[in-house]
Amino acid sequence: MDEQNNNNKVTSENELNSDEGPGGLNPSDRPGKRRPIPSSFKLIVAAMVGMIAAYFLVFYPLPYYIYQPGSAENIRPMVQVTKQNPPDQGTFMLTTVGVMHANALTYAWAELTDKEMQQRKNVLLVGETEEEYNQRQVYSMVSSQSNAILAAYRNLTLPFHFETESIMVMHLVPGMPAANVLRVGDVLLKMDGKVMESAEQLVNFLVGKKAGDTVTITFKRGETVLEKQVALDYLPVEPAESGKAAAARRVGVGISYNFLMSVQPENPENHVAIQAGEIGGPSAGLMFTLEIINQLLPEDISKGHRIAGTGTISEDGTVGPIGGIPYKVIAANREKAEIFFAPKENAADAIKQANKLKTKMKIVTIGTLSEARDYLKQLPEAAATKK
């Protein structure tokens, strides 16, 4: 009897201590139980989730531009004048605004650091692509440089004349054959071997052409000159004005363009060339003009000072407003500018930023090129340049 009870105890204990359940089933194989997920699979999933999150944080673009301080750069190496005068002791500097595309991380950083942001749709024109916006900035800079040369010649009463250099492609009409050949930013040199020197000449060239006709276009892309056949086609129908009949469909190339004009001096010694590199926009006009004048004159109009600034320039010397002046003030202060020329419309913001920086840099309000020159004339020589 005792032996039987002991055997029963042993059997019960063995059943309790066995890895198998009743009927030899592993607990994990019992109905209603799930196999544990292998740790290696968990790591793979975690890594994939991390990579997706990193992509959206770093690489997925948001529809915003973030503005921040750019650079303050010496203009002298960008301007070449044929006439050789003694080297200047001072420095004129253009200033820029840094612009970056926002992602989730930079957007959060901008919010925390109170950086200025603009929605992309508020920066681009209606229907404008980002490529076309960039090209518009390039054209604005080229036009600004021409205005700077013209304003300098007029200020110094140097005789000059205009020359048409080329046509710059600013927009391509979707669906037109030219859109498959040309790119925004291409510079058209010739049409069927003829140089186009005015909009009227280009219009007259297309008179009598039919859809399907081809023209040979010689153009410059970067530093490469290309020659391609381009078919003409009907241009999109323009909406008729109220109460007027729709105009007849016209045949054309299918581009929007601007003419690039150069200002040439009558005296070759006064010839000016500007190479600004990747800098875009018109806001360096005033500073380019001052550097051109400085190189055309034998004296140093900067009088040995480090002078930064900003502002557009018109043909008659009017200085116009620009954007992002607080960031330009920061950039100029970082490069130890002593004086900062600010357009009168932006002067209050420039002074406010200068006070915030507690800088010794003086903000000078400028409305015209003549005002800038008058200020420089009464400026004393910098201590380092006094004899």
Catalytic residue numbers, as ranges = 283, 328
Closest to 288 in 3D by CA, of 264, 268, 313: 313
- Give the Cα-Cα-Cα angle 78, 82, 87 (nearest 5 degrees): 65
Residue in the structure block whose two tokens are 């070759």:
268
The three-state DSSP-derived secondary structure of the chain is CHHHHHHHHHHHHHHHHCCCCHHHCCHHHCCCCCCCCCHHHHHHHHHHHHHHHHHHHHHCCCCEEEEEEEEEEECHHHEEECCCCCCCCCEEEEEEEEEEECCHHHHHHHHHCCCEEEEHHHHCCCCCCHHHHHHHHHHHHHHHHHHHHHHHHHHCCCCEEEEEEEEEEEEECCCCHHHHCCCCCCEEEEECCECCCCHHHHHHHHCCCCCCCEEEEEEEECCEEEEEEEECEECCCCCCCCCCCCCCCCEECCEEEEEEEEEEECCHHHCEEECCCCCCCCCCHHHHHHHHHHHHCCCCCCCCCEEEECCEECCCCEEECCCCHHHHHHHHHHCCCCEEEEECCCHHHHHHHHHHHCCCCEEEEECEHHHHHHHHHHCCCCHHHCC
| In the block, residue with structure tokens 């381009």 | 230
What is the CA 75 to chain-centroid distance, rounded? 19
158: left (phi over 0), alpha (psi -120 to 50) or beta: beta
Measured in whole angstroms, the distance separating CA 93 from the mean position of its chain's CA atoms is: 19
CB atoms within 10 A of CB 341: 28
